[in-house]
Amino acid sequence: MEKKALKIAVIGGGSSYTPEIVEGFIKKYPEMPIRELWLVDIEQGRHKLEIVGELAKRMVEKAGLPIEVHLTLDRREAIAGADFVTTQMRVGLLEARRRDEHIPISYGVIGQETTGPGGMLKALRTVPVILDICKDIEELAPNAWMLNFTNPAGIVTEAVQKYSKVKTVGLCNSPINFQKFLAKQYGVTEGEVLPEFVGINHLHWVTAAYVHGEDKLEEMINGGKDYSATNVTAFDWDADFLTSLNAIPTYYLRYFYMTNTMFNEMKTSLEKNGTRADVVSRVETELFELYKDVNLSEKPKQLEQRGGAYYSEAAVNLMHSLYTDKKDIQTLNVRNNGILDFLPDDASIEVNCVVTGQGPIPIPPQRVPEGIKGLIHAVKTYESLTIEAAISGDKGIALQAMVHHPLVPDVAVAKPMLEEMLEANRSYLPRFFDGK
Amino acid sequence: MEKKALKIAVIGGGSSYTPEIVEGFIKKYPEMPIRELWLVDIEQGRHKLEIVGELAKRMVEKAGLPIEVHLTLDRREAIAGADFVTTQMRVGLLEARRRDEHIPISYGVIGQETTGPGGMLKALRTVPVILDICKDIEELAPNAWMLNFTNPAGIVTEAVQKYSKVKTVGLCNSPINFQKFLAKQYGVTEGEVLPEFVGINHLHWVTAAYVHGEDKLEEMINGGKDYSATNVTAFDWDADFLTSLNAIPTYYLRYFYMTNTMFNEMKTSLEKNGTRADVVSRVETELFELYKDVNLSEKPKQLEQRGGAYYSEAAVNLMHSLYTDKKDIQTLNVRNNGILDFLPDDASIEVNCVVTGQGPIPIPPQRVPEGIKGLIHAVKTYESLTIEAAISGDKGIALQAMVHHPLVPDVAVAKPMLEEMLEANRSYLPRFFDGK
Amino acid sequence: MEKKALKIAVIGGGSSYTPEIVEGFIKKYPEMPIRELWLVDIEQGRHKLEIVGELAKRMVEKAGLPIEVHLTLDRREAIAGADFVTTQMRVGLLEARRRDEHIPISYGVIGQETTGPGGMLKALRTVPVILDICKDIEELAPNAWMLNFTNPAGIVTEAVQKYSKVKTVGLCNSPINFQKFLAKQYGVTEGEVLPEFVGINHLHWVTAAYVHGEDKLEEMINGGKDYSATNVTAFDWDADFLTSLNAIPTYYLRYFYMTNTMFNEMKTSLEKNGTRADVVSRVETELFELYKDVNLSEKPKQLEQRGGAYYSEAAVNLMHSLYTDKKDIQTLNVRNNGILDFLPDDASIEVNCVVTGQGPIPIPPQRVPEGIKGLIHAVKTYESLTIEAAISGDKGIALQAMVHHPLVPDVAVAKPMLEEMLEANRSYLPRFFDGK
Amino acid sequence: MEKKALKIAVIGGGSSYTPEIVEGFIKKYPEMPIRELWLVDIEQGRHKLEIVGELAKRMVEKAGLPIEVHLTLDRREAIAGADFVTTQMRVGLLEARRRDEHIPISYGVIGQETTGPGGMLKALRTVPVILDICKDIEELAPNAWMLNFTNPAGIVTEAVQKYSKVKTVGLCNSPINFQKFLAKQYGVTEGEVLPEFVGINHLHWVTAAYVHGEDKLEEMINGGKDYSATNVTAFDWDADFLTSLNAIPTYYLRYFYMTNTMFNEMKTSLEKNGTRADVVSRVETELFELYKDVNLSEKPKQLEQRGGAYYSEAAVNLMHSLYTDKKDIQTLNVRNNGILDFLPDDASIEVNCVVTGQGPIPIPPQRVPEGIKGLIHAVKTYESLTIEAAISGDKGIALQAMVHHPLVPDVAVAKPMLEEMLEANRSYLPRFFDGK
């Protein structure tokens, strides 16, 4: 059965990650031929789009593949008839991220891009924009899959699933990183391992780590083998805590399990190095300098230091399995549908799925430690309220979301902090400020 | 159909509350005749038992009722053949409460008798003692109802439901206080109002306030009618917060919704007045001075200032409805059984029940605000882990309970705090220290 | 708090049951004063409406009460501003019932008014008419309660709950009959007993029979005390079956548990006496002869032989509890909302409820025998499909409903039987036949 | 990572199916090397075991593989240290099957080996024997997987999961047959199709039929492509019924959806050809004649006519995936664990699973037609009661199981039929008759 060659639209195509996804498309070309690759960006991103777009063209040319690379500011042109649309964008650019990180710290609260008040404001800015894109997809490419790795990916994916008809899957690089780490630890291939993930995006636990069908979790925990990602400073987990938890928490859980420690580290780092946004800003400037080099026609090694390692590999793998009906197991953000029975059916969760040509089918985790259910539920509560606030522009609902976030300790903190953050994002929040 | 006169055993009978429950028995005598009232205490409480016991005898005598009042240190004698057993006790006495309140504060965490680390240690001390009592009840009074108002009442009740065959109900004075308040606000009798409670002990919300079948909740919230109890300093809730919450939180929720504010208030008060335990200690001394007066033969007015107002009324009402198969609605701590569908069936919850002669039948709340589910789930998670720790004496489980309590911000805080608190309670925690 | 006097509309007011409900209103008048009673019927029922309406007037007059009795064919006039609307009607009159009973028998299937194919056709005829009435209520009396005792009451009530905003409760006389029977058996008042019902309308089991809070179920089963209603010929249940079932099945369960026996009995009776419709027809003729007597000014004793004994008492009790916020327990057809956790939330079920001024709050049964869940689920499946068929006029869905009814043994029977029954009801089923 | 060669025990090794499983082992040898194959049978089966065992040895020899084939009547010797144990047996032999088929027909009820009263009695005989085998496995091969294809496979598997610690999976050839059929219809390999199954053993529906990720279900239904197995006479499904059902029912559903038709066909066939047991008996005699031929050293073609085609292929596939941690999708009988949310967690269901080295992980079906839930629930109810009866030997529970089976129409039929069937199986039902 022959399948037609694909059209792919990358929203936020001017991103510094683009060379990675292009590399992925080139590698998979024999099994997943692409006819057209559309890199889309907005006016403010035109310059970056041009630089990275030219690099993409050089990469394709060097590979000798008949992929047409299009650069455009016209989103609808890119989406029309696409088979896959990926979204990787930052509404408000790094400037907004800077504020998301700064303001909470000044109130004594964790200031982070995807977790806590920072993630909430990012969601409020992003959800309406994503839903606008979805309207275009509904109209111009109703059969397309939208692969979302725009953060906060769990919230954004849930919003699309609730308020649009677009077929969507949310993606994070955290699971694929763990899988690679596990395979490396045991000297086997990625296909020979199967970690089991429980939770929601940026709030998951590894509850089993099968290698050739044998669970190595306890060995990993007790052997002190620790897992570390590059985009969050590494702290060692307390060994007694890990043993009694009997699961490996994702890096982002440090914000919840080590709130004081992380807050202090952040505050110190902020004073010394500026926010993470500042750091990223410097790295990006350097990357784009590299990209400009007309002799460069492959993904530069430095990109791997950028933080989101393997994001694009995850995305390309997913497209590939959807395209070929591969039926392999990937960890994705999908509609709950009773898998975690204490969450609503329409909540997005991050779990292992079998990826068929019809889409991902979530697999129920074999074990959900009792202890973690409350935290998952509390954060999901905050997430759902945040979506409701983003859709309605209702300040009261936003206040409820903020107050019910486990990292926000007091209504007396939440209220002025929310006011300040909404005000600082005024130009990105028309639903909160229009007609007021 | 005639019913036999009752035997009642009050465990912790030397409590300063005893005159209130005796008054209740006297009032209900025509409908619920009592033959024997056994006040039991332990050796350390002998002196108080004698004082309050003599007062009880004078009260019964003055009322001219044929109730035999027995004072004893022999628990089994009191329990044998009882129809109702009530438990109101404090393992470790006020000295332990003092530590429960002090130590967390020194770690920057809320130090409170029933909420947070203090409540956890109180549970670890109390659960094994209560289960010992239950063994006696199973053997000597297998048909008795045990009415538990020993705190933390939710945890203690759940432990009994999980680890004993004794028929038990947990009780708190908070719901009856709200009911009386609501009736007073609207100038009607208590029978004409019906507040709807959702949650678990000391973590509940009023989600409807029916007066003659009409819901006055919104009016109460917007009218700024606030509800205040006497045993926790009153802060005003933020009006915007309350309006968007669309529910009235119980007083104990201030520890969660206003953590910083409450912590600071506690710390200041601690420095000025000592702990709440110190205050109670002074009040109790005064009360027992009054009780000694051989001319006193009724409950003194000063007892109403003590804090647990209407606790005994709630208890007597419950016995009365069980005894007469009254089928009225009371708010009680019972087994969940699917009522809150996101909690395990065997969790204890605090909801409205129809009280029949067979026991209370919980009524599903008509509305559970999405926003509060996460917090309820998180605290219930901590509670269940605490019970498991109390039963097993397993420090790892205790650490998990502590870390997953929403008021504990960091493993790096939880671990040394737990160590210090366990050590300080060593003599009350044989399961944690035996053979070690 | 004074409440205003009521306006009540009785749809199907020309029914022979009307004197019973009028008697009920008269008895409860002191606690529930009625200002206007509207008896409504359709043109074909005008004659009966006039006869029974005049009797109603004489009854009110004799009681000396200021209730205005209005007779009308204008439904909207009757509904406008009503506090309660009751519906008791038979779309297609006894002629349709005759067909519902006859046709299935000719296919070897139980032919009964509310159970099996007969009940299905009755539902197909009735649901659209009821929903038309509901539209009037939504418009003209949006705060009214609709008390439905139009059969099949479970299906009709579920349809209203799914497809209308009208506040509705479904009613059957079967539970009140059992309650009276139980009270009589034990020589106590009805208030002193509490049977527990599990199931759906005309398919319920008594799983507990509390008398003064003590469960007498086993005693009743083993003592061979049998419960019998007057509108279905009595067969004795097999004693071993009843003991191992450990519940008392409602009369209608004989169609399921004794299908052959009931079928044969029905067939024989049909040949001898005609259908039940024929019998009822004769009884009704006699009743209306009595009603015509201008000297009659009370409910005649003969009405009690009619079959639906205590239907009106159940209805008046319900209105009274809703009006007075009585908070007593009644067995009603209400939205499931998770009470029976294997059925959809929006299924109607028949269980005990606390009746407050806000409406009935269902109480979860304390025990649901595993054995009966499958049968309940199977019949509810049929019911939901029937509603969907009635709304859509889709023959395929109707076929699925028919085939999945436990009493229909074969697609090869279901299909022609359905065809014949639809055809026979053509004039009452515009949604199935319009434009075809 | 090297894996050790396997020991396999086949309980009921004297079965006529054995050559098929031996053929499967030979084919998969390169990926799944077997060291020892133990064929076990009981004394009555000694003759057949010897015949088929010698054939097995000749097959292995011809293939030139170092598999040791052992024949034994000592079950414990065969089980000790085994990696896989398969069970394929018939307690009571064909004689009992004959009675299971005959007796119900004489009461006007479907008489079938696995469905209805016949299946129930088969379960009552088999469950205790299987649990005895499980005790041996627990003791002698605690890490072994037991692959059960002893019928009624759903009930037997559920019994093992409830009453033993043995790791078990239930297997039926029906799903693999459909998969092969689907692949053949569309001219693709089996790996390129994915049918979705919903239900329980011998009571499932195909609700999706993916070919390269595209659902062909509607096309199959409307195109009239019908699926037929060889061990049940083929009737055509009614086209309108199938279209409105929007799912393809398994062959065994004809007993439920076409009860009259099937009953009549069975009765006629019984009179003409004897029972299915008689037919099988004749086929088996012929097969064993063939097996005796010392020149035969491969599976004879005639075996494919026997009825259970591909049973062994299903079993070998499952072992292979468990052994190699293959993570492919197979349709198996496993513990429900919330997958079908209206059934208990510990019910066995038949659904798609991902087979890892740890065992099968069930995948929630994407769609469960509302209409079929009731029937699944009703049959599962019967199954669970049957297990309870088999374990306890309680006649009352057996009566409840029989009465609640959807194919049994009347307590008045169920009771004498059960009595007669129990009596006829007396020697196989010690738990029902001991001490009585």
Q: Which of A107, A252, A291, A323 is catalytic?
A: A252
Which tokens sit at A313?
Answer: 């590999």
The set of residues, in sequence order, having a beta carbon less than 8 Å from that of B19 and lying 6+ positions away, is B52, B55, B56, B59, B291, B298, B299, B300, B303
Amino acid at C406: P
According to the model, what pLDDT value does residue B12 have?
A: 94
Q: Which entry of D107, D252, D323, D382 is annotated as an active-site residue? A: D252
The verdict on A412 touching D (C-beta cutoff 8 Å) is no
Can you name the residues that pair with D37 across neighbouring β-strands? D8, D69
- Residue D234 has a pLDDT of 38
| Residue in C251, C252, C311, C323 annotated catalytic | C252
What pLDDT is attached to residue C2? 53
Per the DSSP assignment, residues forming a β-bridge with A72 are A40
Answer for the pair D210, A325: CB distance below 8 angstroms, yes or no. yes
Mean pLDDT (whole number) for B319-336: 95
Rounded distance between C-alpha atoms, residue D361 and residue D281, angstroms: 38
- Contact, D17 vs D284, CB < 8 A? no
Q: Does C223 touch chain B (CB under 8 A)?
A: no
Whether residue C362 is preceded by a cis peptide bond, meaning omega within 30 degrees of 0, is no
From chain B, pick out residues whose CB is under 8 angstroms from the CB of C362.
Answer: 364
What count of other Cβ atoms lies within 10 Å of the Cβ of residue A128?
Answer: 18
Chain D contacts of A212, Cβ < 8 Å? 1, 325, 357
Tell me what pLDDT residue B308 has.
65
B268 pLDDT tier (thresholds 50, 70, 90): very high
Predicted local distance difference test score (pLDDT) of residue D303: 79
> A202: annotated binding-site residue?
yes
Residue of A nearest to B253 (CA): A410
DSSP state of B38: E
Is A47 marked as a binding-site residue?
no
Mutate to test the interface with B, among C342, C363, C367 (most CBs of B within 10 A): C363
The reply to whether residue A341 touches residue D338, judged by beta carbons under 8 angstroms, is yes
Give the nearest partner residue to B212 out of C1, C212, C339, using CB atoms.
C1
User: B147, B85 in Cβ contact below 8 A?
Assistant: yes
Query: pLDDT at residue B225 above 60?
Result: no
Among the partner residues C258, C404, C411, nearest to D412 by beta-carbon distance:
C258
Q: What is the reported pLDDT for B56?
A: 96
Q: Which chains touch D (3 or more CB pairs under 8 A)?
A: A, C
Chains C and A touch (3+ CB pairs under 8 A): no
Is B227 catalytic? The answer is no
Dump the DSSP string for A288-311: HHHHH-TT--S--GGGGGGS-TTH
Judge whether D329 is closer than 8 Å to chain A, CB to CB. Answer: yes
For residue C38, the SS3 value is strand
D345 at the A interface (CB within 8 A)?
Answer: no
pLDDT(D92) > 70:
yes
DSSP character for D368?
-
Q: Which residues contact A229 (CB under 8 A, 6 or more apart)?
A: A174, A177, A251, A309
pLDDT above 60: residue B161: yes
pLDDT band at C270 (very low <50, low <70, confident <90, very high): confident
Token readout for B19 is 């005159």
CA–CA gap between residue D338 and residue C169 (Å, rounded): 32
Q: Is A366 on the interface with D (CB under 8 A)?
A: yes
Task: Report the amino acid identity of residue D211.
Answer: V
The 3 state secondary structure assigned to B52-89 is HHHHHHHHHHHHCCCCEEEEECCHHHHHCCCCEEEECC
Q: What angle do CA B216, B218, B222 make, to 5 degrees?
A: 120
What is the C-alpha separation between A137 and A79, in angstroms, rounded?
Answer: 6
Give Cα B168 to chain centroid, integer Å: 13
Burial tier of A73 (Cβ tally within 10 Å: 0-12, 13-18, 19+): middle
Of D370, D378, D409, the CB nearest to C260: D409
Q: How far apart are CA C2 and CA A195, in angstroms?
A: 67
**Per-residue confidence (pLDDT) for residue D1, from 0 to 100:** 45
Could you give the CA distance from residue B383 to residue B403 in angstroms, rounded to a whole number?
12
Six-digit token string for B299: 């409950």
- Are 3 or more Cβ–Cβ pairs between D and C shorter than 8 Å? yes
Write down the mean pLDDT value for chain C: 92
Tell me whether chains A and B touch (3+ CB pairs under 8 A).
yes
Structure tokens at C180: 């009276």
**pLDDT tens digits, one per residue of C55-85:** 999 999 999 999 999 999 999 999 999 999 9
> Per-residue b/e over B369-387, b at no fewer than 16 CB within 10 Å?
bebbbbbbbbbbbbbbbbb
Query: What is the nearest CA distance from A264 to chain B, expressed in angstroms?
Result: 12
pLDDT confidence of residue B276: 76
Q: Is A143 on the interface with D (CB under 8 A)?
A: no
In B151-170, the residues whose Cβ lies within 8 Å of chain C are none
In the Cβ-directed half-sphere of A297, how many Cα atoms lie within 13 Å? 11
What is the distance in angstroms between the Cα of D260 and the nearest Cα belonging to chain C? 6
Residue C5 pLDDT:
85
All residues at 6 or more sequence positions from A252 whose CB lies less than 8 Å from its CB, including other chains = A114, A115, A174, A202, A203, A232
For residue C245, what is the enclosing H or E element?
helix C239-245
B227 vs A208: CA distance, rounded Å: 48
Residue C207 binned pLDDT confidence (cut-offs 50, 70, 90): very high
pLDDT greater than 50 at residue D45: yes
- Among chain D residues, CA nearest to C244: D396
What is the interface size between C and D, counted as CB pairs within 8 Å? 126
Q: Are D165 and D135 in contact (CB under 8 A)?
A: no
pLDDT band at B231 (very low <50, low <70, confident <90, very high): very low
pLDDT of D233 higher than 60: no
* CA–CA distance, B28 with B317 (Å, rounded to integer): 9
Q: Are A242 and A248 in contact, with CB atoms under 8 Å apart?
A: yes
Residue B232 has what pLDDT? 35
Low-confidence ranges of chain A (pLDDT < 50): 1, 225, 227-235
Q: Which of chain B's residues have a Cβ under 8 Å away from the Cβ of C212?
A: 1, 325, 357
Whether pLDDT at C195 is above 80: yes
C366 C-beta neighbours (distance < 10 Å), count: 15
How is residue B429 written in tokens? 């925690």
b/e burial code for range A351-376 (CB count within 10 A of at least 16 → b)? bbbbbbbbbbbbbbbeebbebbbbbb
Residues of A in contact with B265 (CB under 8 A): none
CA distances from B288 to B17, B51, B53 (A): 11, 7, 11
Rounded Cα gap, residues B327 and B58, in angstroms: 34
Query: What pLDDT does residue B169 have?
Result: 97
Q: Is D367 on the interface with A (CB under 8 A)?
A: no
Cβ distance A415 to B238 less than 8 Å, yes or no, reads: yes
Tell me the one-letter amino acid at B182. Answer: L
Reported as a single tens digit per residue, the pLDDT across C99-132 is 999 999 999 999 999 999 999 999 999 999 999 9
pLDDT of residue A315: 93
What would the DSSP string read from start to end of B329-361?
EEEEEEE-TTSSTTS-TTSEEEEEEEEETTEEE
Q: How many other C-beta atoms can be found within 10 angstroms of the C-beta atom of residue D426?
A: 10
- Phi and psi, residue A30, nearest 5°: -55, -35
Q: Give the Cα separation of D267 and D280 in Å (integer).
A: 17
Whether residue D404 lies within 8 A of chain C, CB to CB, comes out as: yes
Task: Work out the average pLDDT over C19-42.
Answer: 95
- Residue D62 confidence class, pLDDT cut points 50, 70, 90: very high
Which of C162, C266, C410, C422 to probe by mutation at the D interface, max D CB count within 10 Å? C410
Alpha carbon of B373: minimum distance to chain C alpha carbons (Å): 17
- CA separation for the pair B273, B258 (Å, rounded): 21
D400, C245: Cβ pair inside 8 Å? yes
Calculate how close chain A gets to B374, using CA atoms only, in Å: 3
User: Cα-flanking dihedrals φ and ψ of residue C128, to 5°?
Assistant: -65, -35
Q: What is the pLDDT of residues C286-322, one digit of tens each?
A: 889 999 999 999 888 877 776 666 888 899 999 999 9
Q: Kindly state the average pLDDT of the residues D107-123.
A: 96
| DSSP string of D197-216, one letter each residue | EEEETTEEEEEEEEETTEE-
Tokens of C171: 């009613």
Q: Give SS3 for A42.
A: coil
